[in-house]
Structure 1
């Protein structure tokens, strides 16, 4: 029997959350789908849980085999999928009930759209994370992964036409796939709707995983910058990583990052890789993030200004308790700021 959507859910040692994840898909308002679950050689009770769930709902197609890793599992799922649309799902997240309905409607409305993602709500904190939309998505991909992988719905034939996920891009295989699709002229977009509750696992410290992700991200950055005619030095690449995830920095580091962003804009004016207005929107948003840490740009001035504001507030709240000469101390502090 034909179906309109294949939900692809790889699972490996996910006994704590997999039932919750599967149940959230089975509860979708759009009921015409198959749920393709590939148990990637789990050694815990994941397999038993999935077998029990599969017996309860014939929309579940369960594949169980030896461990091959996530990328091999994703590519296997693309080839096994029975539907033209493939929706990704992780074994520890929860899909909101209207996820498939909203995404399929959007994909039907825009038949040239290759991939559609969405915003997510972090389960541990309740915080909502948004992904870039429209014209800003392509230039944003020069700095960071522009989509939340477990939220995407994609056209199966397009993903297969570009070779699926590359096995030599571990820990950022999705990021590399999105940039390859964009370079090939395919359109990607994100909805502002929150369609997934995402488990971030902030307690998990995975240095080896993060190190491999950084290595893969470096390859993706170099490829994207090469399209602009830029071969970055080691120092420039560090600056690019900094622009991708701004953090408290000195005025020197901020100036260096601003110069780097200006170079990217200049090269784009020459090579026309990205829409100029969209790229400048992205670089402006990065610059806004760079300049939101004043206490490290001018630490002494920040401390003195903060102390002045605090003392002034105390004075006006408790003026009848404070000796008059205290006002002179505060005013001398104020004058030293100019």
Structure 2
């Protein structure tokens, strides 16, 4: 007899995760109020991972293991999407744990909000805040983004979601493409591509996942997560966003005249964006010409509605300070300026 399709399919790529996988699976099997399956794709593990998956599957039919030759996380993710039967897809990684109500709350949210295509949740940082302060601050920032508009505007700074915390409608990969393998983080590329296609994304205010931070995390070790991959990806999609939202397209004013800001702005120029001038607060830079463009103080910025600002400020708290200044002066984020990084 064919079993009815579950509401949620959890896609879980696994590679040599014998030390952490049992806790991950136990946290999934402890879910309350959710009808789900776990499509666990073993990406050619050489440790005890296959035996652990087989043992859990023997005890609970909701665990559906699959094994492929080692091909990396993108291959494993897409292999897991193919047999998934749920109307919603939840992501999970084999070194994280989720709270008992995670799947039920996210599934209920998507069912009640048909205009939302993907929903995340707040996450606990499962790492050493002193040793990994930058990552911890990223988690804190991600947890501030709940509203679809805030998420959409913040996406050019950093990835606005913890990948294993999301749940999305099962039809989205077919409509807008699944995960891609390239010189970029596969999750961030997917969010940018789907949002560019008009998919609205939200986040629950509940903390429903512990996002652990092991030293061998892919974002620390794999070349696809290198810094330049992030920036070239952001430059491409930011240029596309500007073409639709900047009334003065293709002209922008770039806030930040330092070397890093100019390097990021060049990626926009490569996409046909014209930089009118650099805006800075450093008196040593103001009045100079850099890369053929003038460096001006904030007092020379175009008034709200008369020009569009792209801010490249990477210093801790710098973007927040600028946003407070601009909002107080009558500028509106998304209409007069955008924060990037």
> Does the TM-score normalized on the shorter chain lie above 0.5?
yes
1:288 aligns with 2:320: yes
Q: Which blocks of at least 5 consecutive residues in structure 1 are unaligned?
A: 241-249, 280-284, 292-338
Instruction: Find the partner of 2:23 among 20, 32, 57.
Output: 20
1:215 to partner: Cα distance: 2.6
1:137 aligns with 2:140: no
| CA 1:100–1:222: 2 relative to 1, 3 Å | same
* SS class of match (2:78): helix
Q: Root-mean-square deviation (CA), in Å?
A: 3.8
Instruction: Find the partner of 2:36 among 33, 37, 41.
Output: 33
1:268 to partner: Cα distance: 10
Instruction: Find the partner of 2:71 among 65, 68, 71.
Output: 68
1:152 aligns with 2:166: yes
Alpha-carbon separation, structure 2, partners of 1:88 and 1:118: 12
| CA 1:207–1:199: 2 relative to 1, 3 Å | closer
Instruction: Find the partner of 2:261 among 236, 239, 242.
Output: 236
Alpha-carbon separation, structure 1, partners of 2:224 and 2:201: 28
1:187 aligns with 2:200: yes
1:174 to partner: Cα distance: 0.7
Alpha-carbon separation, structure 2, partners of 1:219 and 1:94: 32
Q: Max radius of gyration: which structure?
A: 1
1:213 aligns with 2:226: yes
**Counterpart residue number, 2:178:** 164
1:224 aligns with 2:237: yes
Alpha-carbon separation, structure 2, partners of 1:252 and 1:206: 33
| CA 1:27–1:210: 2 relative to 1, 3 Å | same
Kept in 2, the 8 Å contact 1:107–1:116? The answer is: yes
Alpha-carbon separation, structure 2, partners of 1:64 and 1:206: 23
Alpha-carbon separation, structure 1, partners of 2:61 and 2:233: 40
Name the structure with the higher strand share.
2
Kept in 2, the 8 Å contact 1:93–1:199? The answer is: yes
Deviations 1:106-152 (A, max 9, x none): 11110121110011112235877315121111110011101110000
* SS class of match (1:216): helix
Q: Which blocks of at least 5 consecutive residues in structure 2 are unaligned?
A: 130-135, 243-249, 266-279, 287-294, 312-316, 324-341
1:89 to partner: Cα distance: 0.3
Kept in 1, the 8 Å contact 2:182–2:224? The answer is: no
* SS class of match (1:121): strand
Kept in 2, the 8 Å contact 1:3–1:82? The answer is: yes
Instruction: Find the partner of 1:118 among 92, 117, 121.
Output: 121
TM-score after normalising by structure 1: 0.69
Alignment size in residue pairs: 269
**Counterpart residue number, 2:85:** 82
| CA 1:36–1:236: 2 relative to 1, 3 Å | same
Deviations 1:173-197 (A, max 9, x none): 1111111111111100111210001
Alpha-carbon separation, structure 1, partners of 2:32 and 2:12: 18
* SS class of match (2:13): strand
Name the structure with the higher helix share.
1
